Amino acid sequence: MKAGVVVFPGSNCDHDCDYAASLSGARTRLIWHKEGSLGDVDAVILPGGFSYGDYLRCGAIAKNSPVMEDVIRFASEGRPVIGICNGFQILLETGLLPGALVANHTLKFLCRSTSLRVETTRTPFTAKYRKSQVINVPVAHHDGSYYADEHTLQYLDAHDMVVFRYQDNPNGSLGDIAGICNEKGNVLGMMPHPERVVSPELGGTDGAPLFESLREYVVNL
């Protein structure tokens, strides 16, 4: 698998994602946001951080970066794209995923481990988990509370688009939502950081199956 990690001004989890993907056996490369093409990659990762300092609105400026046009094309072809934390915010701003992320209900930056329940294993990112498995993955965000209108929330549930739910909802997300996918399942956005728990040296391995699932999916295409 060849994985591309997009780097925006203010990204700070790009090397973490690069490391996590490489641990799964992927060949990785960092893609600067001004590049007009993703190049020859099999999967795309939009990492966490504070793209453009989170000015205007988290992800609102990054969505206009030159590379995003090709990310949208890549996703529309059914190929795997994951956005983590700020990457999730960018996916929402582009319209690749529905809903919005607003300030945590505490109005404070949140940085701690959280318990997540795996809601579906139908995506390229979750095949190596078990449905209803509980995993521990850290969060680090200020604007991570998922919001959508009632119709959208019902649509997500009806079409198996909720991928992860908080067991200890730390930010006030509606429906305890921690991560969602598009209807095809090839685009995943999540606020918790799986790349931070991919080896014992990092304090946990619950994020490793996500990257291993992605690699296996690509290899078996």
List, by residue number, the catalytic residues. 85, 193, 195
Per the structure block, which two tokens stand in for 21? 């993907």
Alpha-carbon distance 191 to 213, whole Å?
Answer: 19
- How, if at all, do strands 27-32 and 162-166 pair? unpaired
Cβ atoms 29, 40 nearer than 8 A:
no
Cβ atoms 218, 42 nearer than 8 A:
yes
Cβ atoms 29, 220 nearer than 8 A:
no
- How, if at all, do strands 177-181 and 187-190 pair? antiparallel
Residue-by-residue DSSP string for 45-107: EE--B-GGGG-SSTTTTGGGSTHHHHHHHHHHTT--EEEETHHHHHHHHHTSS-SEEE--TTS
CA pseudo-torsion sign 141, 46, 89, 204: negative
